Structure 1
Amino acid sequence: MTDSPIVVLLIDDQPTIGEAIRRMLATESDIIFHYCRDPTESIKMAKKVQPTVILQDLVMPDIEGLMLVRFLRAKDAPTHDIPLIVLSSKEEPLVKAEAFKLGANDYLVKLPAQVELIARIRYHSAAYDNLLKRKEAEEKLKEENLRLSAEVEITRRLQQMILPKTDELKQIKGLDIAGFMEPATDVGGDYYDVLNHNGRIKIGIGDVTGHGLESGVVMIMVQTAIRTLMTQNEADPLKFLSVINRTIFDNVERINSDKNLTLSLLDYEDNCLRLSGQHESLIVVRKGGEVEIIDTIDLGFPVGLEEDISDFLGETEILLNPGDVVVLYTDGITEAEDPSGEMYGLERLCEIVSQNWEQSAQKIKIAVIDDVKQHIDTQTVYDDITLLVIKQK
């Protein structure tokens, strides 16, 4: 037996047939039987009783049986998906073939044996029940996809809203800066910012774990915390990063989230960058295209993962000469795949920057992004692509 009742609607103009079918089904406690003698009322009655199986005669006075099959199977009919078993005295193969062509699910010559009729009713009713469950699941999936699409769009807009504007970057004395961020189809939590407060310059880049609205919210928390702490004139990079971590840790715990992020911060003053925090390796290209790679693994710890990361924090200084280029990026660039699944890689990124080191920050940025997109080609972009090019004037 099925979990839910089986509802049978018989459409037949002969009361004796209706009574015979009723008696056949009376032994089954989970089968509810309804009888419609007038075929012109069949759709109205079907709306009322919500059958899981319809039994229908072909020979009736008020409407030709095959025409009724057509009506019951019309695209806009409420009975369109309900299993339809033709129950008729006609045995001609052509009649059977036409019934199936019009959408009948089964054909029985009346009156069939009780055991066969019940078995076919159960079979088709179970199939209909599975169809309804599948449609319900598909509808829920559709609603979830719409919700996620809305989340993605909100996150994408939030990412773009908080990026530093071109005019802000131009006001940074001594540095030529160009940034790029392009969200993936399923937006992640990439972050970069360039802050100028009372002549103090702080540059940040990070990547929140996961994708979607939650990652975007954590990214905004980070941006807000950094900007707030900047206004408090905290000058110690390690203490600065420690406070940021504590703030994010408390917030992600409060919202019951498991998000954390890699984050590197750079303080710039007098041709010198002080780098702290763990993120992707930093690229420095010197005069002549010579490449230096600075690993940040020992300069920090994922932000928001532990309450106190002060013991893991470190810093290093990078002295810049005129024309030197510093490149910050997220793994959306180095892990970008081409159609064959090959990653773009750090080596290729260094090569492109080295080839273009004499160009402006803007032109270096364009050269890198064009090369990354050429590599990706038709492949799906799985992660945000973020790039920040800094050039000492």
Structure 2
Amino acid sequence: MQILAGFGLNALVALVRRATRRIVFQRRSVHELALLNAASRALIHSELDVDALCEQIYCEASKIVDTSSFHLGLFDGDHYTLVIRVQDRVRLPPVSFDLSAGDGLIGWIRQTGTALLVEDFLREMEQLPARPRYQSARPPRSGVYVPLIAGSHVIGSISIQSYQPHAFGANDLRLLSLIADQAAVVITRARAYRAQQEEAWTLNALLQVAEQIGQTNSLDEWLATAVEILPRLIAAPRCYVLLWESAQAQFHLRAAYGVDLQQNQQLRGTCDALASQRLLSQLHTAEARIITITGSGQRQAAWPCLPPLPQPHDGSLVALPLRGRSGLLGALLLDYDDPVPPLDPLQTSLCVGSARQVATALESLLLTREAEFAARLEEELRVAREIQTALLPATTPKLPGWQIEAAWRSARIVGGDFFDFWRLEERQTLGFVIADVSDKGVPAALFMAMARSLVRAAALDGSPPDLALTRANRWISRDSESGMFVTIFYAILDPASGQLDYCVAGHNPPLHYRAADATLHALRTPGIALGVLDEVTLHAATTHLAPDDILVCYTDGVTEAIDEEEHEFGVERLRTIIQHNHRATAAKLKHTILSALAQHSHGQPTFDDVTLVILKRSGNGML
């Protein structure tokens, strides 16, 4: 009996221990889940800045796993940057290096998209899928490595390490993988947001270049402006403008920035040998866009009379061709104190775009005065038309159960109207906008490009329409000095339910045809155009598009088109067309409106741009 009692006591103790472990495990799981939920909320609501997000990811990870040694790195092509580096709880500065797919453990993770748990490097080294790339006098003994995956691409990795073997287990791998999944989403969103901001900044910078260059009326004014624009935009200490004299096959220095008067005089007239130097001779090739020479020796060889650089500066030159329709016109030379790293896409776009605009202006000034204005305007319009056409959607979105059509006709070669569509993936919704800039021609087209990019950047995070347009207004007012403004209708459509959230910022109210009672309703909200005031108060509203409902968005070029007796087309005529053709497809309705407009204004000059965006929810009554 004593033996049986002993067995019973041991069994009871074992049961208590198992129950205790289960309770501890459950409590730990609940705690971990709460931390993960808190981390997810914190990351979702973080600001859309990659560096700030990386800091937030590190902070949230520190609450969940041991981050005494922590690395967060991001890929940019074959370039890898460790944005966050922590070793023995000590923050180290970021570091960048080349790392191709398959190179080391991180390269293997990028290539395979697979997470890795190493419990003991010494025992598992021969079985690892790849050898660690780094060499250290005190290497880690264990670690967890997880990829940051966005869609089908590995955009980076997160790792934690320890000098102790078996410091991490499967649970650490699971927790870090969950953190990485959230991190990849917010970093991808921040990168997209930054790309839109960079695009808007570049377009605004090019707008400033166009405005300043376009205001010059003589070659001397052009030289004084051209030599200062680019170095101020990309922080080059010195810049030179060289003009190519084809008859003499020589470059001549015509303007210099960042040098004193004595140096300027020494440089003038010393360019004869430049035509045979590798730097400038390469500018004659059709492929040349940007040519760089690095090193003080190469710099002096390219142009012996350049100002000497103080030690220990090594110097570099960046040459941008000024090429027109007739060939090479000259070159912009940027002169740096130190070797310049490879230009990133933003700098490249800015340099090439600025050089093109400078070259266009130069070519116009070199023509005879009688042809000056016409030639320059033709080139500006051609470039602007290409830019504007490229910015407008080539096709309309294809959504099951919906018909979406758009039309754009500019009064001149370029115009100020625009429309755009974008998918808001997180909400499975469609954002779309129609807008009208206050001016016409090239200035309106450039302002349109900037406004379109800023509105898109403000809306891509899925903000409600009124908040997105308020943010866009702030940016437009800050970045533009042209005095122009833009009216906008912005809406977010939920294709599944038909819900439409919208905001009208001084724009023509779109017309909503309700099939249920065959009525037309103008969509209005209080608010003024963007760019008028620094701060505006806008409002959002919501409607619902039921089957067979139609939404017709338009600019005032539609309703204000005039006939031979200067009678306007008018909103009532547009309403009548919609009501009489409500059973037609969206494409046929668009064609009917444009045909009626052409018939009304037949023979009359078009004074304003014409833009239409039509949505129809499919039903049972279409022709």
2:555 matched residue in structure 1: 330
TM-score by length of 2: 0.38
Residue 359, structure 1, aligned to residue 588, structure 2: no
Q: Deviations over 1:36-74 (max 9, x none)?
A: xxxxxxxxxxxxxxxxxxxxxxxxxxxxxxxxxxxxxxx
Equivalent positions of 1:252-291 (< 5 A) are: 252-253=480-481, 257-269=482-494, 270-278=497-505, 279-287=507-515, 290-291=518-519
Amino acid in the other structure paired with 1:169: P
Counterpart secondary structure, 1:176: strand
Counterpart secondary structure, 1:344: coil
Contact 1:156 1:183 in 2 (8 A): no
Amino acid in the other structure paired with 2:423: N
Contact 2:508 2:556 in 1 (8 A): yes
Residue 179, structure 1, aligned to residue 403, structure 2: no
Contact 2:418 2:436 in 1 (8 A): yes
Contact 1:289 1:355 in 2 (8 A): no
Contact 1:289 1:354 in 2 (8 A): no
Deviation at 1:288, TM superposition (A): 7.1
Distance 1:214 1:239 in 2: 27
1:25 matched residue in structure 2: none
Equivalent positions of 1:1-393 (< 5 A) are: 142-166=371-395, 168-170=396-398, 172-185=399-412, 187-198=414-425, 199-231=428-460, 233-253=461-481, 257-269=482-494, 270-278=497-505, 279-287=507-515, 290-296=518-524, 298-309=525-536, 311=537, 313-393=538-618
Contact 2:402 2:617 in 1 (8 A): yes
Deviation at 1:386, TM superposition (A): 0.5
Contact 1:284 1:326 in 2 (8 A): yes
Structure 1: 4+ residue segments shifted above 6 A:
none
Deviation at 1:195, TM superposition (A): 1.2
Deviation at 1:295, TM superposition (A): 5.0
Deviation at 1:335, TM superposition (A): 0.6
Structure 1 portions without partners, runs of 5+: 1-138
1:5 matched residue in structure 2: none
Distance 2:465 2:454 in 1: 14
Contact 1:281 1:293 in 2 (8 A): no
Contact 2:560 2:568 in 1 (8 A): yes
Amino acid in the other structure paired with 1:210: D
Counterpart secondary structure, 2:397: helix
Contact 2:404 2:615 in 1 (8 A): yes
Amino acid in the other structure paired with 2:582: W
Distance 2:370 2:573 in 1: 40
2:155 matched residue in structure 1: none
1:41 matched residue in structure 2: none
Amino acid in the other structure paired with 1:299: P
Deviation at 1:230, TM superposition (A): 3.8
1:42 matched residue in structure 2: none
Deviation at 1:390, TM superposition (A): 0.6
Cα 1:149–1:239 change in 2 (3 A) is same
Deviation at 1:237, TM superposition (A): 2.1
2:289 matched residue in structure 1: none
Cα 1:210–1:391 change in 2 (3 A) is same
Counterpart secondary structure, 1:277: strand
1:15 matched residue in structure 2: none
Amino acid in the other structure paired with 2:580: Q
Amino acid in the other structure paired with 1:191: F
Cα 1:284–1:140 change in 2 (3 A) is farther
Deviation at 1:318, TM superposition (A): 1.3
Contact 1:178 1:388 in 2 (8 A): yes
Contact 2:512 2:523 in 1 (8 A): no
Distance 2:577 2:523 in 1: 19
Deviation at 1:140, TM superposition (A): 5.1
Contact 1:196 1:202 in 2 (8 A): yes
Which is higher, the Rg of structure 1 or of structure 2? 1
Distance 2:569 2:555 in 1: 12
Deviation at 1:184, TM superposition (A): 1.0
Cα 1:380–1:258 change in 2 (3 A) is same
Distance 2:615 2:468 in 1: 22
Deviation at 1:250, TM superposition (A): 1.1
Counterpart secondary structure, 1:169: coil
Distance 2:372 2:518 in 1: 53
Distance 2:370 2:553 in 1: 38
Deviation at 1:196, TM superposition (A): 1.1
Contact 1:186 1:383 in 2 (8 A): no
Aligned residues: 246
